[in-house]
Structure 1
Amino acid sequence: MQLLTVDEFSEYIQKNRSVQRYSSSQETKGSHPFWALPRERIDADLHGIYTKLSEILKGIPTGDRELAHLLRTIHKVPQIKRSSDLNIGLVGAQGAGKSMFLSALFDMEGISWSGADGEACTRTVVKFAYFAPNSTSTESESFYAEIKFLDNRKIEEMIREHVKDLKHYQEDVDGSDDDEPRVAQSYEQDEADKRRHDTAREIFTVLFGSEKEFMHYWMSHPTKEFMHFCKLKCLEAMKECGVPDGRNSCIRSGNDAHELMGKIKHFLADVKGVECLWPLVDHVTIRFDHELLKYGAVIIDVPGSGDTNLSRARHVEEIKDTADIVLVFADTLRIASDNSAIDTVQSCVVSRGRDKVKFVATKIDALLKNDLNNCGGETYDHIRNLVQDAGEKARASEDDGDAIKALQLGQYITYLERQLLLRYSTARAAKISSTLAGKLGGRGGADSVKVFHISANNYLEWQSKPMISFRDQPPLPPECTNIPAIRQYLFGLLSPRNFDDVAYHLYNFLPNYLQKIERAINESDRDADLGSLAQEFDRRMDELIKDHLSQAKQLFQKILENTLLKVCADTAVYQKQVDAKLCNEICKFRSPTFNKLMKNRGTLPPKASKAKGLENGCSYNRDFSNIIAPAILKWASTYVDRMQPMRQSLIELAAVMGHTVLSMLNMSSANVMVVERAKKKWKPYRMALKVKMEVLMDEFEKIHKNAVIGGTMEDGRQNCLVATITDQHFDATLDAELPQNSGCHSAKRKNQETRIKFQKRTLTERFSGPNSYFVDDVFKIFYDSSSKNIDNLLDEHFQRIRDIMEQYSASLKDELPITYKVEQGGIDVRADIARAFPKFEKMVADLQKELPNQTRAQDDGTMYLTDMDGASTLATIYAQLSRKRKQGAQDNAKAKVKKERC
């Protein structure tokens, strides 16, 4: 960044006196070959094939099922099937700049309510997804929003939380503890309790229509009845929004972002004078046309930490878990010391890996008082000297009456001040990146979490007017705001997925469709024997898949049970540590502190309590997780070791299934030509089986990793294994009703024990009573959830294998002779298709040539059994591979000992 001299600036200002607004269409999307594809030509040719063939097929006679199938499926020719969407989560505290970033990312002010209103207030999860204008509607609106409400279970949890906040805040104010006076607590906790109380009152006031009506129900009905009324009010509110019966969502639309936002703002945030229904909303999906969204990105804007309702906070965590890539936002002025943001990054790194987490420092042009004046260094001093010198020359020019020269020098001073800010921002960004790299534990380079330093406000200023004069030009050039860099990063994530989608469509779908056309116009390629082959294949494969699925479930469950049994032998040791934590810590606190812990489910932030030992906050979920973590890690190590042969075992199982199919074809009564044709058609499906098994193990390893993270609370999130138990224990303890002596006269009835002693006894019994043993419950839930996840995963992937088999069977049935008489109209249509068919083939071949270095999977014979000694079930394959692995380990150990002795 070399500074311009006064003379050089004179030429510069002539070219930049007024510049056009910045357009993101000028940006490059990266070097991936996908962006070099002639996408417009591909789309045009695909639509050309579709249009021509559609015209020919319009006149097919009724009852010609073959041609009707071609017509029914022809819409798939121009529609390239896309991979699943890439979910990109935006995470950060309120006011971190996410909403402004969204407006900059999409080149569209007003697309986020916070960005439109100028306040950080979004309270609902908002997803941004693609909608092609007028693709499904004749209406003019091009912006749509689907508002999905919480289901009944989550609404009930949310209401229960707010009732608890309201009830226990009032108890604290009334000082209703029966054995100890309420002690002073920290200002921070008082404010947090008050916010929760005020939020609860606000929401109930909205539900009941007025505070008077809400207080009437609250004061005149028991808690359970009040909650029932609240649920009815929630259903009424949803119905008034136009939610159809049996559904939990409604639609809003608009011609532009501002119009749409005006219609949905009360679903997103607090808006004065409007009944705000955001507490009932699961998430809002906003759809419109944008390149990022078109190519498969779904942007998920996660609310900041302003919502103190625990059930909603947990719900937000669940949605955040669906993000494949996470961008963590923090304000530049405090990012290096923002422990919350740093902890969020570390948590996301644990669950996703460093390459899928990015840190975003916002407002890089923001300055504290005298920042620029205090920055020292040769470069800054040089710029200041130039500013001072130019100022003196400008004043001299004014004295001489040379207004033009004075104006140019004034513009030069503006240029220098902008350069000073640019250099300061760049240097500060480099320093912050270095500091964060050390805090985040990376080894540097590619191993560190990348930090994007952005200024969304500066970027939007470059788009504020069609032409921007030098005086109004923002201090940072568009590329230095790093909004284009983030866009390029996201396009880089999307490009390989889109390239693979195009390649699959051109190399797989279109050739298969052409084969169907060719069979329709060429009767000689049909053979009735293929029908008997297909029927036999269906029968054998249905039995085979059921059998192998059952074997897989049994083997996976057996390994899970055996490895957990070794850990469960030490549960008494872990339970003893849990009991010590309860008796020596939690139950030692006085009544107000104990109830505060129960109310907050064992977790308090720093400064929330003045009680001894809680000054820096606490998380008993983390403490309990730390107690059982050695057991979980011990299990994980054993489990990984036992599962190591499984990947190759599943690949060999795919080979067994492929071998079974080939054997069945060889043993069929069909003639040799039919069998050879069926074998040739089987090759790509056989390779697909291997791929499915590889993907199965990839998904299994992800489930295993998440189970370990949830069990150890390694990522620090409250949605962890022990929380599924402790939440219930803490809530039940807080809500426990104190029993009374039934033998006493009602007027003289006394409590058997004080309320706080009863609560502490209740908590202890729930953790280690005769019917509950906390550590056992933890491992039972761990086993049940792991077992369920494994079964679901196997069901899902074996269904995909079944789909492969059904596709192969359908390909055989497609070549059966027509069993009905083809009418003259059908003959004429087939003749027209035959004349156009060579052109279709050439167009597809030409399109395939547009894909560079595209290779199709070749049959390399690796799917045949090699040295499995006739093993035909997953259990026998796994057993043989396990023995070979153990024998290999023993041989290596013997060789090592022999070498050391020599």
Structure 2
Amino acid sequence: MPSQALLSFDEFRAQAKRFKPVPKYNVATESKDPRPWWDLDLDAFHANLKEITRIVTSCTKGATGLDRELDHVMKTATTLEQVERTSAVKVALIGAQGAGKSLLINALFDCTGLSLTGAKGFACTSAIQDEIDRKQKKTAEDFFDTIFGSREEFLNAWSSNPVNTSESKSLCQLKCKEAMQTHDMNSQGIAMFSRNTPQELLEDNKPFLSNVEDQVCLWPIVDCVTIRLNHPLLHQGLEIIDLPGSGDINMSRARHADAIKDTVDMEIVLGDTVRIGTDEMVISTARAGVINHGVSKVKVVATKIDVISDDQLAQCVGAVYDEINLLMQKADEDAATAEDEDDATKQMQINRCKLYLGRFKKSHMIKERAALISEKLGTTLSQDGPVDILHTSTSDYMTWIKTDKISFERQPALSPEDIGVPTIRRFLFNLPASQNLRDHVIHINTTVPAFVEKMKRVVTQSDRDAGFRTIADALDDLRGRYLGDLMKALNRIYAVESKTSIDKIEKDSNAYKEASRARIRNRWPTLKHAAFTRLLKSRGTVPVGTSKAKGLKKNVNWDLELAIIMKPGFLKWYATQTAFLKKLKEALLPWLDTLYHDRVALMNESAANLITVEKAKLKLAPLQHRMKSKVIAMMDEMMAEEKRLLHRATMEDERENNIVSAVTDEIYDDVFAATPELRTTFKKERLDAHFLSPEAHFVDRFITLFKNQLEEKMTGLIEKHLGRLNAMLEEFSKLMRDHAPVDYAISPTGERVREELEKDIGYIEDKAETLRGLLPKTPKDEDDASTNTDDYLEDSGDQVKDLNYFLDKVSKSKRKPDHATRGPAKRIKHEDV
């Protein structure tokens, strides 16, 4: 890569090192952005854990089938090095066909053939900007061609009789099963392949990704293709998802891609540099990502930044380009002189200088264009905050990593850092860094000490009594009452609050009905027959530029028009619901504190001996924050789901699977298929009746569907997360019961092993302390800070404080004036003059 300062021929000639080959780019030497996670010495971490395992397992001296306690300790020791990891961070690559998603994946993992590209003109997906009926037709064709083996076989099996019959369904099922049998699939319908290289694996995967001649290809009915490989980036806990191209003509794949977008943690939106600044698909996809995930969870990548023609370079003007052109002209003159003098060495140096000048010119234009794109596209996408815009050249990057030595003549114009791939990889490395550190901290501070406690218990005979089982039984009773009450209270309170907020929509339903009536009767019927029919056929949506019919030259979207009418009501609903969920979140935390403190009080009142009680309390302590983290996760997911439902109702995220279309699709289909076909008036009247019928008005159906989806989602989330909380507390009870005595006889070998273990406990505790010393110094996370619950723990006799009690407390605290923020009253001394 040329330096930033432009060199003259004499300066360039003086730096002979520029003529030499350079080594290929070494990914292993890439720096990483500072994070506490990278400061953790993982080698020392695992070495200490291995040492603990070695010491413990050596005590058995090969003995097997020991008593149950020793077997449990030995089994735990062998798994001590395995850190329980949080779920992988999911990153989706999104872009149109040919945007460079697959090439970027290959570059990120430093290999070719890992992901199928469309370099030969046959991409794994096909995308257009087309109307709904074309997408539906293509989806059906892809499916039937696949299960029947070919278009000809399908047409031969096709009948003019109604297809929605038992016979036709059975035929399709048999054909689908027959197509799947071509591959060696397991009972879950999964075909697995293991190969030595990505290129070999890709040959096996191609039929599941794209059409391959003379093979049965199942890509239209494949849910996903998962590739696992050994790479440092994946060791961090990442899952990279290459989604079908934006606007994929196969509707089922497009809707599946929409569903996946909702589940990922990060979206990387790719677009070709040549048109990314005005690419509506890139802009709308990025905006939808920001709406769904937040501005920090979306990156936009301009690809193929190195694609610049000689004609484009020749048109560049300005101070730097003029200087380069003068130097190039001077180099040509010097080359002519060198030729006359028959100075071959000087000719070679001048040619290399001209090559250098051409690269400098190209790199300068690339950087100049990139800066302009970042500025203008960044302004377009900056509604919710600045979106990061990156620039990549995967072809140049692959040149840097292919061979051990790269001659001067073959070196790309851009350095590996300027190519952008290392920047993206550095970002991906750091995505799961915080959660990785948290997992290891928990392992050091909780898992290892718990193992030491197990060792102490197994060598201490006096600790074996019935106290732990008694405590566990009492805890189960308490858990059942508390969580049962919480489940009922949450569903009841949410239902009440939800009705209150939905009422804000229904209160203005007459106004929405009047506005929709005016739109449907005064605007939609004015279209001529062709335009009106085209809209029905396309389910109310005709993108700009896809029709020349009068009234359809601009973007027309009937569903969006209806959503805009209803939007104010849903914004009121969302504001009310957001305020309620925040209050509920504040109330749940002290409620959990009461559950925790009641569990501690139950232990204190237990008839078990002091050692048993203190150990049970010690083991309970970590659960206080874990309980809160699960409830916080529930509330965060409820808030995120309500936001998604808002966007689906208002169509703000521009997804096809929105709530409006769930009501209107069947209406458009029915009116379009209605007869007589040529009577537009008849169809318009039928459309009017479907939308505006007093018995089943669109506004009423829309609100009802929204309510049903809201109730289903929220009930499911409450049940799911409280189930997880219950499972965690149930597991704690099980651990308590594991402390109970068991019926077995301690053999002489068991006695000897216990004696050896007891001798090693001090050494293992030192190792545990060494592990704690490995933790990097980092500020304590705010989420880990204890919530001050003194106000919620005042004595109230035997009365159990339910969730409403804490909601009232939160509401009262909101209404109190914040005296703490006021300064002290100032006394002003008045003196007579």
Relative to the length of structure 1, the TM-score reads 0.84
Offset from partner CA, 1:751-806 (integer Å, 9 cap, x none): 7x966555445444433336522222222222222222222222222223223423
Deviation of 1:570 (Å): 2.1
Q: Per-residue CA shift, 1:519-554, capped at 9, x if unaligned? A: 112223444323222221222222221112211221
What residue is the counterpart of 2:157 in the other structure?
217
Give matches, 1:270-349, under 5 Å. Answer: 270-305=211-246, 307-349=248-290
Query: CA contact under 8 A between 1:725 and 1:778: conserved in structure 2?
Result: yes
User: CA 1:99–1:643 in structure 2 vs 1: closer, same or farther (change >3 Å)?
Assistant: closer
Letter of the 2:775 counterpart: L
Among 309, 314, 318, the alignment partner of 1:377 is: 318
Residue 776 (structure 2) aligns with? 852
Does the residue aligned with 1:250 lie in a helix, a strand or coil? Answer: coil
Partner Cα separation in structure 1 for residue 79 and residue 801 of structure 2: 39
The change in CA–CA distance for 1:791 and 1:124 in structure 2 (over 3 A counts) is farther
Which residue in the other structure is 1:26 paired with?
29
Distance 2:534 2:193 in 1: 42
**Equivalent of residue 558 in structure 2, options 605, 616, 620:** 620
Deviations 1:541-598 (A, max 9, x none): 2222111221122111211112212321222221233333333344554554344323
Distance in 1 (alpha carbons) for counterparts of 2:583 and 2:258: 34
Alignment correspondent of 1:649? 587
Distance verdict in 2 for CA 1:548–1:210, change over 3 Å: closer
Letter in 2 for 1:583: R
CA contact (8 A) 2:531 2:551 kept: no
Instruction: Note the C-alpha offset of 1:608.
Output: 2.2
Q: 2:124 aligns with which of 112, 122, 125?
A: 122
Matched, 1:358 2:317: no
SS state at 2:191 partner: strand
Residues 242 and 769 of structure 1, relative CA distance in 2, 3 Å threshold: farther
Q: Whole-Å Cα distance in 2 between the matches of residues 229 and 274 of structure 1? A: 21
The equivalent position to 1:495 in structure 2, one of 395, 409, 433, is 433
Write the deviation string for residues 654-677 of structure 1: whole angstroms up to 9, x where unpaired: 122123223323333334554444
In 1, Cα distance between the equivalents of 2:664 and 2:251?
14
Task: State the Cα RMSD in Å.
Answer: 3.0
Task: State the 1:311 CA deviation.
Answer: 3.2
Q: Which residue of 2 aligns with 1:826?
A: 750
Supply the AA of the counterpart residue of 2:184: G
Which amino acid letter does the alignment assign opposite residue 788 of structure 2? T
Change (3 A) 1:248 1:770: farther
Q: How high is the sequence identity, in percent, across the aligned residues? A: 32
Q: Check 1:321–1:695 CA distance in 2 against 1; reply closer, same or farther (3 A cut).
A: closer
- Aligned partners of 1:690 and 1:863 also within 8 Å: no
The Cα of 1:401 is off from its aligned counterpart by 1.8
1:728 Cα deviation (Å)?
2.7
What CA deviation, in whole Å up to 9, does each residue of 1:75-129 have, x standing for no partner?
Answer: 43111121111111111111111121111111111111116x544612299xxxx
* Matched letter for residue 43 of structure 2: E
Which of 333-342 and 638-647 deviates more?
Answer: 638-647
Q: Distance in 2 between matches of 1:562 and 1:855?
A: 42
**Matched residues in 2 for 1:430 and 1:793: separation?**
44
- SS of the counterpart of 1:328? strand
Answering whether residue 358 of structure 2 is matched by residue 417 of structure 1, we say yes
Q: Which moved more, 1:675-684 or 1:540-549?
A: 675-684
Counterpart of 1:640 (choices 567, 578, 591) is 578
**Match among 530, 552, 559 for residue 490 of structure 2:** 552
| Residue identity opposite 1:218 in structure 2 | W
Which residue of 2 is the match for residue 838 of structure 1?
762
Partner of 2:208: 267
Change (3 A) 1:733 1:52: farther
Question: What's the counterpart of residue 153 of structure 1?
Answer: none
Counterpart of 1:208 (choices 148, 153, 160) is 148
Against the structure 1 CA distance between its residues 84 and 209, is the aligned structure 2 distance closer, same or farther, given a 3 Å change threshold? closer
Q: What is the aligned partner in structure 1 of residue 810 from structure 2?
A: 881
Closer, same or farther: CA 859–203 of 1 in aligned 2, 3 Å: closer
User: How many positions carry a matched residue from both structures?
Assistant: 811
Q: Indicate the residue corresponding to 2:99 in structure 1.
A: 96
Map of 1:257 onto structure 2: 198
Q: Offset of 1:229 from its aligned partner?
A: 3.4
> Does the residue aligned with 1:355 lie in a helix, a strand or coil?
helix
Question: Does 2:358 align with 1:434?
Answer: no
5+ residue gaps, structure 2: 822-833
Change (3 A) 1:481 1:547: same
The alignment partner of 2:177 has SS state of helix
Kindly state the Cα deviation for residue 268 of structure 1 after the two structures are TM-superposed.
0.8
Distance 2:6 2:372 in 1: 22
1:407: how far off? 0.5
Answer yes or no: is the 8 Å Cα contact 1:42–1:847 preserved in 2: yes
**Does residue 772 of structure 2 align to residue 862 of structure 1?**
no
Q: Distance in 1 between matches of 2:133 and 2:650?
A: 29
Once the two structures are overlaid, the 10-residue window that deviates more, 863-872 or 510-519, is 863-872
Per-residue deviation, residues 859-887 of structure 1 (Å, max 9, x unmatched): 96834554778470001221232244345
Query: Which range moved further: 224-233 or 796-805?
Result: 224-233
Change (3 A) 1:574 1:349: same
Distance in 1 between the 2:358 and 2:396 partners? 15
Partner amino acid, structure 1, of 2:125: R
Q: Which residue of 2 aligns with 1:182?
A: none
Letter in 1 for 2:338: S
Counterpart of 1:364, as a letter, is I
2:50 partner amino acid: H
TM-score by length of 2: 0.90
Instruction: Tell me the CA shift for residue 379 of structure 1.
Output: 1.6
* Paired residue secondary structure (1:462): helix
Structure 1 residue 488 displacement after superposition: 0.7
Which stretches in structure 1 are left out of the alignment for 5+ residues?
Answer: 126-186, 739-750, 893-902
Say whether residues 1:716 and 2:654 are aligned partners: yes
Could you say what secondary structure the match of 1:452 adopts?
strand
Contact 1:387/1:413 (CA < 8 Å) preserved in 2? yes
8 Å Cα contact 1:503-1:854 kept in structure 2: no
Give the 3-state SS of the residue equivalent to 1:699 in structure 2: helix
Distance change in 2, residues 1:70/1:273 (3 Å): same
Question: Residues 126 and 245 of structure 2 are in contact (CA less than 8 Å); yes or no, is this contact kept in structure 1?
Answer: no
Query: One-letter code of the match for 2:713?
Result: N
